[in-house]
């Protein structure tokens, strides 16, 4: 039985997915990165090894996310692609004809515009946290509410309050003011959901032609309050796919499957690497005035990858 592994390593979560030849999801994991991408990736691989069928053989591996190069070097990836490509191919496979992808994670957010299955435009927001999941986490903590209850409470609101959402600092100050003037918790939470969506559309979505079908993915898609706020603001139905939180990994797995069909073979090192000793060091290249910081990746004491230079001197092979 053939399987294909997709890995999405981000700042907040590390996601692993195994699909079969027909793009059915066989296994999926959503893990917190916790600032330790190598350790969490190894833990994820060990969990997959224990969960998957012994008859399943991994024929290809793809990586994506901000840690795609690092994870690709560790596992021996056949395909290393950016998040835009991975999310687009996953959404267009799961929801044929999708024209707009709204993706919100813990630390960043993005919008992807597709027409006839091809990405025609996209934008990412990695600077301001007001349009990301961390914004909601901070406000939930302030309200002493579990983030998992946020969406349910938002849907109970009868008169959502308007909260300034341009900045997390302004939003928190405005939220406190609304509490002090007597607004109930449900109305405040609904207002926070609308503030996040407003910020997202005014920044990441600014100038974009948002047309249905619309797919909402990323960890924040679990929040029913945000889905409601998007539908209220856009006037269209917003679909949340079954595997909304691991769509990047699914896209990476699909890319690995396509690579195998076209080229055959795989560089995958096997699940045994979950017990290997990985470490990273860095040095400053003094070959020119750029003084690039070069990253070294070691496996069991042997250097396996090196990158970080602007000129490409150190990107390929060990010098």
Secondary structure in 3-state letters for 75-88: HCCCEECCHHHHHH
Average pLDDT over the chain, rounded to whole?
88
Q: Quick one: pLDDT at residue 168?
A: 59
- Could you tell me which residue, 87 or 148, shows the higher pLDDT? 87
**Share above pLDDT 70 across residues of the chain, in percent, rounded to a whole number:** 92
Joined together, the tokens standing for residue 225 give: 């309050």
Q: Quick one: pLDDT at residue 129?
A: 56
Cβ(20)–Cβ(38) below 8 Å: no
Q: Quick one: pLDDT at residue 141?
A: 77
Q: Quick one: pLDDT at residue 188?
A: 85
CA dihedral 280, 51, 56, 72 (to 10 degrees): -20
Mean pLDDT within 291-309: 86
Q: Are strands 278-284 and 118-125 parallel, antiparallel or unpaired?
A: unpaired
Domain boundaries, the chain: 2-89+248-275, 98-240, 277-319
Cα-Cα-Cα-Cα dihedral sign, residues 254, 255, 260, 261: positive
Residue 46 CA neighbour count, 13 Å, CB half:
10
In angstroms, how far apart are the furthest CA atoms of the chain?
66
Mean pLDDT within 184-197: 86
Name the strands in the sheet holding 302-307, side by side, starting at the edge strand that comes first in the sequence. 278-284, 293-299, 302-307
In angstroms, the CA 59 to CA 258 distance is 11
pLDDT in tens, 128-153: 555 566 777 777 777 788 777 877 88
> For tokens 């039985």, what's the residue?
1
Q: Quick one: pLDDT at residue 85?
A: 94
pTM to 2 decimals?
0.86
Same fold across 2-89+248-275 and 98-240: yes
pLDDT in tens, 23-43: 999 999 999 888 899 999 999
List the CATH code of the domain at 98-240: 3.30.420.40
Cβ(142)–Cβ(173) below 8 Å: no
Mean pLDDT within 196-211: 89
Q: Quick one: pLDDT at residue 81?
A: 96
- What angle, 0 to 180 degrees and rounded to 10, lies between the N-to-C axes of helices 133-143 and 168-180? 30
Q: Are strands 57-64 and 25-32 parallel, antiparallel or unpaired?
A: unpaired
Cβ(58)–Cβ(74) below 8 Å: no
**Which superfamily does 2-89+248-275 belong to?**
ATPase, nucleotide binding domain (3.30.420.40)
Does 290 have pLDDT greater than 60? Answer: yes
Q: Quick one: pLDDT at residue 139?
A: 76
| Residue 307 bridge partners (DSSP) | 295
Cβ(284)–Cβ(294) below 8 Å: yes
Cα-Cα-Cα-Cα dihedral sign, residues 89, 92, 95, 99: positive
Does 312 have pLDDT greater than 90? Answer: no
Does 100 have pLDDT greater than 90? Answer: yes
Q: Are strands 13-19 and 25-32 parallel, antiparallel or unpaired?
A: antiparallel
CB neighbourhood size of 230 (10 A): 26
Q: Quick one: pLDDT at residue 127?
A: 59
Q: Quick one: pLDDT at residue 319?
A: 42
Of 37, 45, 107, residue with least CA distance to 29: 45
> For tokens 């619309």, what's the residue?
214
Residue 116 CA neighbour count, 13 Å, CB half:
0
In angstroms, the CA 183 to CA 158 distance is 11
Band (246; pLDDT cuts 50, 70, 90): very high
CB neighbourhood size of 118 (10 A): 9
């Amino acid at each position: 039985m053939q399987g294909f592994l997709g890995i999405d390593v981000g700042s907040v979560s590390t996601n692993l997915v195994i699909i079969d030849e027909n793009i059915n999801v066989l296994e999926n994991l959503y893990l917190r990165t916790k600032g330790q991408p190598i350790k969490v990736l190894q833990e994820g691989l060990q969990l997959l090894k224990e969960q998957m069928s012994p008859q399943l053989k991994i024929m290809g591996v793809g990586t994506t996310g901000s840690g795609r190069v690092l994870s690709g070097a560790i596992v021996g990836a056949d395909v290393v692609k950016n998040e835009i490509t991975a999310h687009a191919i996953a959404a267009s496979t799961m929801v044929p004809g999708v024209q707009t992808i709204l993706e919100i994670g813990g630390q960043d957010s993005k919008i992807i515009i597709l027409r006839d299955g091809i990405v025609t435009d996209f934008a990412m927001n990695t600077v301001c946290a007001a349009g990301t999941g961390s914004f909601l986490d901070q406000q939930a903590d302030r309200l002493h509410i579990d983030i998992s209850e946020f969406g349910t409470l938002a849907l109970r609101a009868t008169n959502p309050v308007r909260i300034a959402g341009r900045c997390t600092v302004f939003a928190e100050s405005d939220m406190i003011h609304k509490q002090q003037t007597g607004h109930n918790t449900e109305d405040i939470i609904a207002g926070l959901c609308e503030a996040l969506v407003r910020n997202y559309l005014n920044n990441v979505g600014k100038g974009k032609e948002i047309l249905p079908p619309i797919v909402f993915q990323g960890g924040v898609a679990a929040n029913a309050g945000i889905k409601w706020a998007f539908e209220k603001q856009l006037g269209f139905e917003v679909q949340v796919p079954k595997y909304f939180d691991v769509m990047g990994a699914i896209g990476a797995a699909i890319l690995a499957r396509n690579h195998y069909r076209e080229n055959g073979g795989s560089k995958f090192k096997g699940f045994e690497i979950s017990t290997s000793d990985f470490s990273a060091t860095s040095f400053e290249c003094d070959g020119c005035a750029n003084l690039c910081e070069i990253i070294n990746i070691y496996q069991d004491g042997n250097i396996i990858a090196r990158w970080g230079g602007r000129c490409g001197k150190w990107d390929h092979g060990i010098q």
